[in-house]
Structure 1
C-alpha cells in the first residue's frame, strides 16, 4: 500500500513552479482583507448556476507514494461550452504590465483545480481562466486556456514529479529524526543539580501545550536543558518544530553547540541559524535586485536544488554552512536561510522573526504553528525589545524634504506631504516646554497618512525606488500598523524642537501584544537567570492564570563567590565627591587579589571618567568598552582575559551592555566582578510616561520602571563571575542603595551572604 502524502494545492505548485529573481524594488500586495473584498467583488458577478469557493480533493499515485491533494478554487462557472475554473488574483500593478504567462504559479494552481473538477464532473475538457483585478481602479483583465483531461493528467504528474525528490528526503528525514529523538540520551554523563527538574518542566509544558516561565540560574546549562526535552517531546509526537529565540549572537552560538552535542549522541535533526541580512550579505550594499546582485538574479530558478543539496548533506546549518551552499548554488544567503527555516526542525534566530509585526515569518501557516514550540532565551530582554517592536515614530523633516523634491513633479505626493507637514506645525504649537502627551491617535492624521501612502505607492510602482520616499512610506505604513494595535496600554507623545517635530505611538505595556503574537503556537517557554521578581516579568510578558512557573536553585556553592557591598553613594549628584573613594576601593580590591576583573558602570560617561582617574593613579593594565564595537572588537576585548596572565587586567564595561550578559569567562579567566550602581535606566521622557502609567494601574511605577529593570542588569553583570562548579571569585557591589530593603530584597539568594566594606 502506498504511503499517503497530504499536501495543499498552493504549496505544491509554488514548490514546482516558482521561478525568477529576488527583486526588492518597491512592490506592494493587497492585505488579506482587501484581497477578500476584491475577490468577493468578482464573485458577485457570477451567474445563478455558478459556484464560488468550491472545495476539491484528489489522489495522485506516483511510484511508491500516494499524494492526497486538496484545495479550494475561487469559482466554478457554467459557460456555453461546459465548465470553467476561475482563479482570481488582486494586484496593485497596472494591468498593462501583466501578460498571459506572467505568473506560471497562478496557472499551475488553476490547472490543479481544473483537473479535480474534470474528474468530479466527468468531463474531457474545460476552460481555465485567470482573472486579475487592479486594487486601485477595480479594473479587470482575464486570460483563458482550453485544456483537456489528458493534458491535465500529464500536467499533474509533472507537478507531483517535481515535488517527489523533496518528499522522499522529508519522509526519510522524519523517520530518522523521530527514531533518534526517542532514543536520545542526555548529552552529559549526569545532570547538574536542578537541571533535571528544569528539563522535566519544559517537557511537561510541551506535552500539555502550555506556557512556562522558568527562572534558571546562570551556569546550570539552560540551553541544553530546554532543547533536549523539546527534541525528546518531538520524538514522542508532541510537536514537529521549534524556534530558539534570543537577542544575542553569543547565545545563538550556544544553541548551535547544544545541537552539535545532541548530534554526537545520535540525534538526527536539522537546525538553521538566521543571520541578519546586513551581516550575511555577500555584496557591498544590500541591494536585492537582479541587475546589481548575481545572487538575487534567478534565485527562484535555483532555490529548490540548493535546498535539497544542503538538506541532503548537512544538519547543522549555521552561518558558515549556509554561506558555503549559497555560493555553490548562487543564492542570496539571507533569503536561503529564511527558505530553509520553513523546512528545518529547529530555527535559531532573533526575537523579531516571530514577535515583530514588521518582520515576522508570515509564511508559518496556522497548522505549522500548532506544531511549533517557542523557547525564548534571556526573556528578560524581551520586555524592552517588545516595547520597541510595538511602537512607531514619525518625524516632520522628511515630509518637508519630500515637498521640495516632488513639487511640480508629483502633485499628489507634494499635497499629501504638505498636509502632514502642516499637521506637525500645528502639533508644535500645542507643545508646552517642547512636549505634549495626547490621549489617543489623531484619526485625521491617519487619514492624511493613508492618502500619502496611496500617492507614494503609485509613484514607487511607476518609477522604482526613491530612498527618501521609500523611508517615509514605510514609516507611515508602520505608524498605521501600530495605530491599529493602539489601546490603553499605549500613549502618544509629541516632541518639538527648533528644527524638528516628532510623534511617537509608544507601547507602555507590551504584555497583551506578546500574548497575541504567541497565540496559536503549541507551547512557549520563557526562561532567564534573572526573572526577579518573577511576578513583574510574568506581568510584562503576558502571564495567564493557566501558565506554569518554575524556579530552579543554583547548583553552585554560594561560598565560591565572596560578595561585598561597598556603601559609597553612586547617585548622580554625589559622583564627583565619591570619585576618589571609588578609585581607591577598586584599586585596593585588585591589589589584594591579583587576576582578571570586569568593572561595570551605569553609563559610558561615568565609566570613562572613572577609567581616566583610575589609569592615572594605578599601574595596572586596563581595557575599556567603546560604543558601537564590532564583533571583531568584542572578541579582541574578551580575548585579553586569559588564565595564564602574569599581571592583573581590568576591563571597564557598561552595565546592560554586550559584556554584561551572555559571555563565559570560565575558571581563572575572571577573578572578580565589580558592579557600580544599582543599574537604573535613564530618567528620560519615556520612562517618566511608563512610571505614570504603572502608578495609575495600581502598581509601583518607580519599581516597575526603574528598580526591577535596574536590578536585572546588576544580576546579569554579576552573573559573569560563577559559570561552572569550580569557579571562584569576588563580587563587589558598589552603591549605598544595595543596603536598602527595596534593593536588598531583590538580590539573589547566592549573594545574600555579603560583607559590608566600610
Structure 2
C-alpha cells in the first residue's frame, strides 16, 4: 500500500466544505503572528496542570483503498489524566472569534481539535475533554469553548473525508506520473543555444545533482532565463515536483512566461500559472477579504467545493488572470484565491518575491510537496533586488504626511465616519509626535500598548464602516488607515540586532520607522522549504556581499559568472572621470553633463537614455539640455503603466531621435528591453548612492558590527548603488545585432570598491582602460567602424 502523509490541519476540514475567506477561516496557512502567545499560554498551563505537555505529537494511520494515510500533527496542549486536549487560537478581537466558533460547529478549528481527540482515544481508549482556548492578542484576555467528541459522529465524518483523500490522491498520482514523463521528454527550447547558454544549463544541472545553492551572474543577452528555468524544471519534474519562479515586479513575469511558452512549443505539456497581485485581480473597488463586504469572499469554500472548481482549473493548460477573472465572475468567487487553488496542479508557478518571502505570503502553498516527501525548486530572478525588497517587508513607517493625506481623504466619506476618523488620526499624530519632543532624529523604543489601544479603536471604526450602507471606494481612507496602522503595530515586536526603531524629522514630515538592516535570517527560513535554490542576475558582484544578504552564507553555495555572448566591438564603454556627480557638486556640474549628452548624441542621432541618481538631479540637467532634432521624454515620479508603455512605443517607432531621461533603479533602468535601434546609447550619470542620512548611518553601523569595519560603507552605500548603475548600462546591448555606446560619468567608477562590482569583460586589468583622452573622436570612430 502507498503511504501518504497528511498534516492534521489539511486533513481536518468540513465535508462538504463550508466557510468564507476571512482571517479566521481555518483554511490555508496559519497566521504568522501568535506564536509568542501560544508559548506564554503553554507555560501558564504547565504551572496550572500537572502533567501538561505542550506540542504533543499525535498521529494515526488509516487504511482506505490502496492507500495508508498517515495523519500527524502537534496538539498545543495535552494532559493524560484527567484526559484533556487543548488547542490555542489567538485573535485581536477574541469576543468576535468566540461568537463565530459558537455558531459554527463545522469550523476547521473544531475539526482539528476533534481529530486530535480521536487520535488520543484510539491510542489510550479514553475520550478526552476538548478545549478551544481563545486568547486576545490585544490584552491577553481569554475565552474557552468546550467541544464535544462524539466518536460515532466523528467516524461518520472520517469515512467521508477518507473517500475524498482517496480521490485526491489518485489525481495527484496521475499528476506525479505525468510530470516524470514530461521530464524525460523535455528538450531545450533552442536548437542553437547562444554562446555560454549551454554551459549555463550544464552548470545548473550539475549543481542540483550536488545539492548546492547557486548564485549566477550572467549578462543580458545570454538567454539566462531559459538557461536556468529549463534545467530547474527538468530536475523538479523528474521528482514529480514543480518550480517556483519569483521576480521583483509583476511587469517582469513576461520574460519567464515567454521561456515557458518556448518549452511548450517543443511539445512539452507543462502547465504554467502566473500569480498576479491581489489588487489587480480583485473584482471589487478595494481588495478587502471580508464576507460582509465582498460577495466573492462570502461562502467561498462552499462554492469551490459545490462547483468542483479545483478540477475545472486543472484542465486549463495556461492559467491567466483573464481566465481566473472570468471564472470568478461566473461562480462568484475570488479570482486571486482561485489562482492559489491552482498552485498544486501547476508545473511552473511565476509570481512576485512577496509570495515566497513576505511575512503573509503563500510560502506554505507554493512549497508543498506532491505525494512524496520531496520539495519544489526555487528560481530567483533579478536577485540583486531581493536584499532590499525583503528588508522593506519588515520596515514599515508611520508619518504625519500619511496622516495628513488621510485627513484630506476623509472628506469623501459620510460625516459620521469622517469625524470619527479625523479624531483617531489626531490621536495617531500626537502619538508620533510624543517621540520627538526635541525634534532630533534618534533611535527610540516604541511602547506597544498605546499603539494597540488605538489599533483596537481603528478596527472598531472599520467594522462599523463595513456594517453600514456606505459604498467602499477605491483607495478608501478608512481601509487605508486600518491597514497602515495594523501593519506597523504587527512589526513593533520584531526583535534582533538587525532591527532598530527611530523617530525622524525633516522638512516634509515627522515619522516613526522600524528598520530592518538585514533580512537574511528570514530568507533562510524560506529556503528550507525548497529542494534547490538558484538566484541569478546581471549584477551579483561582489558575490560574497550578495551571498551574505541573500541568506545563502550558511548553505553550500556555488558562485559562477558568465561573460557576454556578444562581441566586444559591438559596444563602446567609456568612463568620464572629469565630471563629478557627488551631491555637493551637482549644481556646478549639471551644465557639463548636459553638454556631454548634447555632443555625444549628435555624433550619431538615434535613441538614447540618461539615468540619474535622483529625480531632482535629472530635472536640473534636463533644464540645461539643448538638443536639435531630438524629442526629450522625462520619467515622472508616479508613472502609470500606460504612460510607461507609450514612451516605449514611441522609442520603438523611432520617428525622431529621442532622449529618455530617467532614474537609476526606476521603471526604465531594469527589466525593460530596448532591442535593436530602440536604444543605441546610455548615459549612467554617477553611482546612485543611498542618501547619507541618520537612518542609513544606523544601517552602516549594523554592517560594521556584523561584517566588519572595512565592509560597512561598501555594504551600506557602494554595492547597492553599483547594482543600479550596471543594470542601467545593461539596457543597451540586448542581442547579437545590437550596437551601442555606454557612458559612465564620475571618477568614483575608477575606485576599487566600485570597479570590483563590474562584470568580467568590461576591462582587462583596470577600469582606467575605459577613460578616453579624445571622447568624441573615439565615439565617432566606433560608429564609423560599426557594420
Could you tell me whether the CA contact under 8 Å between 1:58 and 1:116 is conserved in 2?
Answer: no
Could you tell me whether the CA contact under 8 Å between 1:166 and 1:308 is conserved in 2?
Answer: no
Following the alignment from structure 2 to structure 1, what is the Cα–Cα distance between the partners of residues 58 and 171?
A: 29
2:355 match: secondary structure: helix
2:330 match: secondary structure: helix
Could you tell me whether the CA contact under 8 Å between 2:503 and 2:510 is conserved in 1?
Answer: yes
Deviates more, 1:89-98 or 1:376-385: 89-98
1:751 match: secondary structure: coil
Q: Residue 514 of structure 1 corresponds to which residue in structure 2? A: 523
Correspondence list, 1:427-576, <5 A: 427-431=435-439, 434-437=440-443, 441=445, 445-449=447-451, 478-479=487-488, 482=491, 484-496=493-505, 501-544=510-553, 546-571=556-581, 572-576=583-587
Following the alignment from structure 1 to structure 2, what is the Cα–Cα distance between the partners of residues 685 and 298?
A: 50
**C-alpha RMSD of the superposition:** 4.3
1:479 positional shift: 5.0
In the superposition, relative to structure 1, how do residues 96 and 463 fare at CA in structure 2: closer, same or farther (>3 Å)? farther
The TM-score normalised by the length of structure 2 is 0.80
Q: Residue 606 of structure 1 corresponds to which residue in structure 2? A: 617
1:145 positional shift: 5.9
Following the alignment from structure 2 to structure 1, what is the Cα–Cα distance between the partners of residues 486 and 290?
A: 23
Following the alignment from structure 1 to structure 2, what is the Cα–Cα distance between the partners of residues 44 and 414?
A: 46
Correspondence list, 1:187-202, <5 A: 187-202=189-204
Following the alignment from structure 1 to structure 2, what is the Cα–Cα distance between the partners of residues 280 and 677?
A: 39
Instruction: Give per-residue Cα distances to partners, 1:644-695, cap 9 Å, x unaligned.
Output: 6454222222222111111112222222222222333333333333344445
Deviates more, 1:463-472 or 1:187-196: 463-472
Following the alignment from structure 1 to structure 2, what is the Cα–Cα distance between the partners of residues 72 and 297?
A: 30
Q: Residue 219 of structure 1 corresponds to which residue in structure 2? A: 221
1:626 and 2:632 correspond: no
Following the alignment from structure 2 to structure 1, what is the Cα–Cα distance between the partners of residues 656 and 365?
A: 55
Following the alignment from structure 2 to structure 1, what is the Cα–Cα distance between the partners of residues 47 and 289?
A: 39
In the superposition, relative to structure 1, how do residues 735 and 42 fare at CA in structure 2: closer, same or farther (>3 Å)? closer
1:316 positional shift: 2.6
Could you tell me whether the CA contact under 8 Å between 1:274 and 1:348 is conserved in 2?
Answer: yes
Instruction: Give per-residue Cα distances to partners, 1:199-232, cap 9 Å, x unaligned.
Output: 3333344334432222111111221122111112
1:391 positional shift: 2.1
2:13 match: secondary structure: helix
In the superposition, relative to structure 1, how do residues 666 and 48 fare at CA in structure 2: closer, same or farther (>3 Å)? closer
Could you tell me whether the CA contact under 8 Å between 2:201 and 2:231 is conserved in 1?
Answer: yes
Following the alignment from structure 2 to structure 1, what is the Cα–Cα distance between the partners of residues 699 and 639?
A: 30
Q: Residue 254 of structure 1 corresponds to which residue in structure 2? A: 255
1:529 positional shift: 0.6
Following the alignment from structure 2 to structure 1, what is the Cα–Cα distance between the partners of residues 333 and 503?
A: 44
Q: Residue 668 of structure 1 corresponds to which residue in structure 2? A: 677
Q: Residue 341 of structure 2 corresponds to which residue in structure 1? A: 339
Q: Residue 660 of structure 2 corresponds to which residue in structure 1? A: 651
Could you tell me whether the CA contact under 8 Å between 1:563 and 1:730 is conserved in 2?
Answer: yes
From 229, 233, 237, the equivalent of 1:231 is 233
Following the alignment from structure 2 to structure 1, what is the Cα–Cα distance between the partners of residues 587 and 134?
A: 70
Aligned residues: 732
What stretches of structure 1 of length at least 5 have no aligned partner? Answer: 403-408
From 130, 144, 162, the equivalent of 2:148 is 144
In the superposition, relative to structure 1, how do residues 236 and 686 fare at CA in structure 2: closer, same or farther (>3 Å)? same
Following the alignment from structure 2 to structure 1, what is the Cα–Cα distance between the partners of residues 497 and 292?
A: 47
Deviates more, 1:212-221 or 1:563-572: 563-572
Correspondence list, 1:592-741, <5 A: 592-614=603-625, 617-642=627-652, 645=654, 647-694=656-703, 697-739=708-750
In the superposition, relative to structure 1, how do residues 721 and 160 fare at CA in structure 2: closer, same or farther (>3 Å)? same
Following the alignment from structure 1 to structure 2, what is the Cα–Cα distance between the partners of residues 50 and 513?
A: 29
Following the alignment from structure 1 to structure 2, what is the Cα–Cα distance between the partners of residues 397 and 609?
A: 26
1:448 positional shift: 4.6
Deviates more, 1:724-733 or 1:319-328: 319-328
Following the alignment from structure 1 to structure 2, what is the Cα–Cα distance between the partners of residues 744 and 185?
A: 39
1:378 positional shift: 0.9
Q: Residue 381 of structure 1 corresponds to which residue in structure 2? A: 385
Could you tell me whether the CA contact under 8 Å between 1:3 and 1:66 is conserved in 2?
Answer: yes
From 316, 321, 325, the equivalent of 2:318 is 316
Instruction: Give per-residue Cα distances to partners, 1:710-736, cap 9 Å, x unaligned.
Output: 222121111011112222222222334
In the superposition, relative to structure 1, how do residues 365 and 451 fare at CA in structure 2: closer, same or farther (>3 Å)? farther
Could you tell me whether the CA contact under 8 Å between 2:46 and 2:53 is conserved in 1?
Answer: no
1:65 positional shift: 5.5
1:244 and 2:253 correspond: no
1:741 positional shift: 5.5
Following the alignment from structure 1 to structure 2, what is the Cα–Cα distance between the partners of residues 137 and 448?
A: 17
In the superposition, relative to structure 1, how do residues 623 and 60 fare at CA in structure 2: closer, same or farther (>3 Å)? same
Following the alignment from structure 1 to structure 2, what is the Cα–Cα distance between the partners of residues 25 and 285?
A: 20
Could you tell me whether the CA contact under 8 Å between 1:43 and 1:52 is conserved in 2?
Answer: no
Could you tell me whether the CA contact under 8 Å between 1:210 and 1:522 is conserved in 2?
Answer: no
Could you tell me whether the CA contact under 8 Å between 1:180 and 1:266 is conserved in 2?
Answer: no
Q: Residue 34 of structure 2 corresponds to which residue in structure 1? A: 31
1:427 match: secondary structure: coil
Following the alignment from structure 1 to structure 2, what is the Cα–Cα distance between the partners of residues 611 and 459?
A: 47
Could you tell me whether the CA contact under 8 Å between 1:177 and 1:267 is conserved in 2?
Answer: no
Following the alignment from structure 2 to structure 1, what is the Cα–Cα distance between the partners of residues 576 and 359?
A: 45
In the superposition, relative to structure 1, how do residues 114 and 424 fare at CA in structure 2: closer, same or farther (>3 Å)? closer
Following the alignment from structure 1 to structure 2, what is the Cα–Cα distance between the partners of residues 49 and 536?
A: 47
From 171, 174, 179, the equivalent of 1:177 is 179
Q: Residue 406 of structure 1 corresponds to which residue in structure 2? A: none
1:61 and 2:61 correspond: no
1:252 positional shift: 1.3
1:679 match: secondary structure: coil
In the superposition, relative to structure 1, how do residues 429 and 120 fare at CA in structure 2: closer, same or farther (>3 Å)? closer
Q: Residue 354 of structure 2 corresponds to which residue in structure 1? A: 352
Following the alignment from structure 1 to structure 2, what is the Cα–Cα distance between the partners of residues 469 and 283?
A: 16
Following the alignment from structure 1 to structure 2, what is the Cα–Cα distance between the partners of residues 51 and 353?
A: 31
Deviates more, 1:363-372 or 1:559-568: 363-372
Q: Residue 278 of structure 2 corresponds to which residue in structure 1? A: 277
In the superposition, relative to structure 1, how do residues 588 and 96 fare at CA in structure 2: closer, same or farther (>3 Å)? closer
Could you tell me whether the CA contact under 8 Å between 1:430 and 1:436 is conserved in 2?
Answer: no
Following the alignment from structure 1 to structure 2, what is the Cα–Cα distance between the partners of residues 107 and 687?
A: 48
In the superposition, relative to structure 1, how do residues 12 and 236 fare at CA in structure 2: closer, same or farther (>3 Å)? same
